[in-house]
Amino acid sequence: MSTTTPASVTTPATTQRVAIVTGGSRGIGRAVVDRLVADGHAVAIAFAGNQAAADSAVEAVRAAGGRAIAVRADVADENAVSALFDLVEQTFGGVDVVVHAAGRMDLAPLAQLDLDVLDQLHRTNVRGTFVVDQQAVRRLRSGGALVNFSSSVIGLAFPGYAAYAASKGAVEAMTLVLAREVRGRDITVNAVAPGPTATELFLEGKDEETLARLAAQPPLERLGTAEDIAGVVAFLAGPAGRWVNGQVLRANGGII
């Protein structure tokens, strides 16, 4: 595990809320990091392999006057995830918010998907969520929030998405059960299920006709933005969202 730790975050601060964002170096995860920092959180950015993107995210947080570290961790590796939480507790004094945005998407018709790819997809999306959530509920302080990521594709049922949608169905099941398992601890557990969102990864390989068709589907007649989704996460992580628990919020502009 490699880390990037600015000198300004070496002294724990127990009064500031602290968030861990997996998949926080790019896309929706990066927007969540920026929003949580703007809302006053210190943030640990967990990433899988792109050190440069993680370093860039940390630098942006520091430039905005915030506090952040970047930690490389495979979300499906229980030892790496435990070490991630250990480092965050040592650096910032505790954990108040966990946003599990890391995930993998492999698309193919069910009849054609390689089963090795299916296993890898489920290792990241299903086992990874279980591992991160397990550490989260063991470590979150009272008043904490756990936010998982599902997908509106579960309802949209796009051809080619069977394996991915199945993995996100598992995420929703875990979220709803876990919200009830932490009864009495003042911890909320929810999931956000974005619709088509104009991230770099989503836009890659799609022609203008395809993007126009996707943008026309919701009544709001546009694609979502990473900032749209980050706003929903910030609501669930903040004081205004404390009475929302055990829910899946479909942030998709009304597409379903």
| Segment holding 94, helix H or strand E | none
Q: One of 164, 172, 197, 199 is an active-site residue; which one?
A: 164
Torsion of CA 225, 227, 230, 235, to 10 degrees: -110
Burial class (CB in 10 A: 0-12, 13-18, 19+), 22: buried
Residue 152 and residue 150: Cα distance in Å, rounded?
7
161 flagged as catalytic:
no
Question: Hey, how many other C-beta atoms are within 10 angstroms of the C-beta on 166?
Answer: 16
Residue with tokens 């945005």: 101
Residue 245 and residue 144: Cα distance in Å, rounded?
12
Question: Hey, how many other C-beta atoms are within 10 angstroms of the C-beta on 94?
Answer: 17
28: helix, coil or strand?
Answer: helix
User: What's the token pair of residue 166?
Assistant: 């199945």
Q: Are strands 18-22 and 3-4 parallel, antiparallel or unpaired?
A: unpaired
Letter for the amino acid at 26? R
Q: Which residues pair with 22 in a beta bridge?
A: 46, 100
Residue 225 and residue 214: Cα distance in Å, rounded?
13
- Give the residue numbers marked as catalytic: 164
